[in-house]
Amino acid sequence: MPKLLFDGTAMQSDQRATFHGGGEYAKFILRAAILRGYVFDVALNPNLFLDPETMAVIDNSGKKIVHVRTKAELYSVLDSGTYDIFYSALPYKYYDYSSKARFIGVIHGLRPLEIVWDKYKHKYYASSLKRIVGWCIARSSIIKNELRRRQWKKLAQLINIHNSMFITVSNHTKYAILNFFPEIQARRIHVFYSPFDTMQKDNDNKEGTTCAVTPFFLLVSGNRFEKNTYRAIKAFDKLLDNNLLSGFEVVVTGAENLPFADEIKHKDRFKLLPYVTTERLRELYSNAFCFVYPSLNEGFGYPPILAMSVNTPVIASSATSIPEVCGNAALYFSPENMDDLCNRILHIVDDEEKRTELIALGKERVRILQKKQSSDISKYIGLIFDTH
């Protein structure tokens, strides 16, 4: 069996966050591989944080830890000839990889190419100077094309690494790769949906219960421009202006100190929360009248599925991978069209039958994805660790 080095640095903290989606994905694969008895070593940076639970999993498994403080140190380890395969669940920084060890990487999406900028991105900056620069970039096709060219160059280097294989998290991402990089062979790209854990607990049963005293719409990751919260808040404000959402509130997580909060007209109807604990987030998903996901770009998109898992109906953007993941279990809208979102909000408020239908379809969609995940995970792990 080939000897593999697992990129544990993908599970560690980065400059933006202690926990991040790519890291959680890597942890899932690590545990699945250990559970199936595969032998491999784990590369970790001793200067970066790794949550104690994952560290305990590695220690208890007896896996050898290879300490690498820099990318150069990692490359030196791989160039020693000790390993036949290097696997990374977050491979983007390895665009200059040249080791003889086979490279297997997970491409979660091509956001830098698909959404270089957005006309409202400057709204998310706290600095006045950055807002001005962002506003100018949004209106300059020359600058945006240059930014795209730079991103394309790095991604092209990554995609064309010699003796490489890539795993993607959706068919959308696979065909985006083939579109932007037609030189790559389709057989080098394998699609396995992102693994996910639902928000459901064994004793949960939302059916037959009532929502919170004040029904609310839920949005998440409010401070990230690609999540498109600005347009969504504007849409809700418009409906509140016209007295069309009587008795409803809007809750947004990841929105503490939101730079455009002063633009909100009906501040008493919005609750802008910081990033919250997993348990608190679960409560919000469970109690929401409806979950709204206006994202401009996703490689997969966990949040709508989490909402569906606790019987909360979903209104979702029709962009990129989201319809592939959500299937027929969401009401879709064009993410750049605020009126389109207003229409869907009014539909979910006015049509109780549609809301009930979406809850049922959501439960079925989660079941389908869980079944697919269960059947695919062994194939996925085998593809990585049994590759010669």
User: Mean pLDDT over all residues of the chain?
Assistant: 92
pTM: 0.88
The CA distance from 201 to 309, in Å, is: 10
Asked whether residue 85 is assigned to any structural domain, the reply reads: yes
For 267, other C-beta atoms within 10 Å of its C-beta total: 11
**Residue 184 counted as domain residue:** yes
Q: What is the pLDDT of residues 97-113, one digit of tens each?
A: 999 999 999 999 999 99
Give yes or no: residues 320 and 174 share one domain: no
pLDDT tens, 275-299? 888 899 999 999 999 999 999 999 9
Q: Indicate whether 179 and 227 sit together in one domain.
A: no
| 253 inside domain | yes
Residue with tokens 């909100």: 264
- CATH number at 246 reads 3.40.50.2000
Q: Burial level of 352, CB count in 10 A (0-12/13-18/19+)?
A: exposed
**Do both 162 and 299 map to the same domain?**
no
Residue 296, φ and ψ in degrees, nearest 5:
-85, -25
Core vs surface per residue 278-317: b (16+ CB within 10 A) or e: eeebbebbbbbbbbbbbbbbbbbbbbbbbbbbbbbbbbbb
**Is residue 24 situated within a structural domain?**
yes
Among 291, 345, 357, 350, CA closest to 322: 291
Residue 302 is predicted with a pLDDT of 87
Instruction: Please check whether residue 366 lies inside any domain of the structure.
Output: yes
202: pLDDT strictly greater than 60: no
What's the pLDDT at 24?
A: 84
- Taking the C-alpha atoms of residue 360 and residue 60, their distance in angstroms, rounded to an integer, is 41
Q: Which among 334, 336, 291, 332 is positioned nearest to 310, based on CA atoms?
A: 291
Whether 220 and 160 share a structural domain? no
Residue 387 inside a domain? The answer is no
Inform me whether the pLDDT recorded for 268 exceeds 80: yes
**How many domains would you assign to the chain?**
2
Residue 204 domain flag = no
Say what the pLDDT of residue 203 is. Answer: 44
The pLDDT of residue 336 is above 50: yes
- The three-state secondary structure class of 272 is strand
Asked if 230 and 94 sit in the same domain, the reply is: no
Tell whether 159 and 261 lie within a shared domain.
no
Q: Which residues contact 306 (CB under 8 A, 6 or more apart)?
A: 196, 198, 199, 285
Rounded to whole angstroms, the maximal C-alpha distance in the chain is 68
Kindly state whether residues 189 and 233 are assigned to the same domain: no
Residue 101 CA to residue 81 CA, distance in Å, equals 7
Say yes or no: 230 and 330 in one domain.
yes
Domain region containing 348: 216-371
The answer to whether residues 233 and 362 belong to one domain is yes
Please name every residue paired with 167 in a beta bridge, in sequence order, or none if there are none: 106, 190
Contact 217, 292 (CB under 8 A): yes
Within a domain: 337: yes
Residue (of 119, 173, 125) closest to 144 by Cα position: 119
Closest by alpha carbon to 233, among 257, 215, 255, 211?
255
240 and 93 part of one domain: no
Say if residue 101 is in the same domain as residue 236: no
What does the DSSP 8-state code read for residue 62?
T
Q: Which of 74, 41, 76, 109 is nearest to 296 (CA)?
A: 109
Indicate the pLDDT class of residue 187, thresholds 50, 70 and 90. confident
- Residue 45: give its domain's CATH number: 3.40.50
Q: Are residues 158 and 28 in the same domain?
A: yes
Question: 107 by DSSP, 3-state: which?
Answer: strand
Give yes or no for residue 362 having a pLDDT over 80. Answer: yes
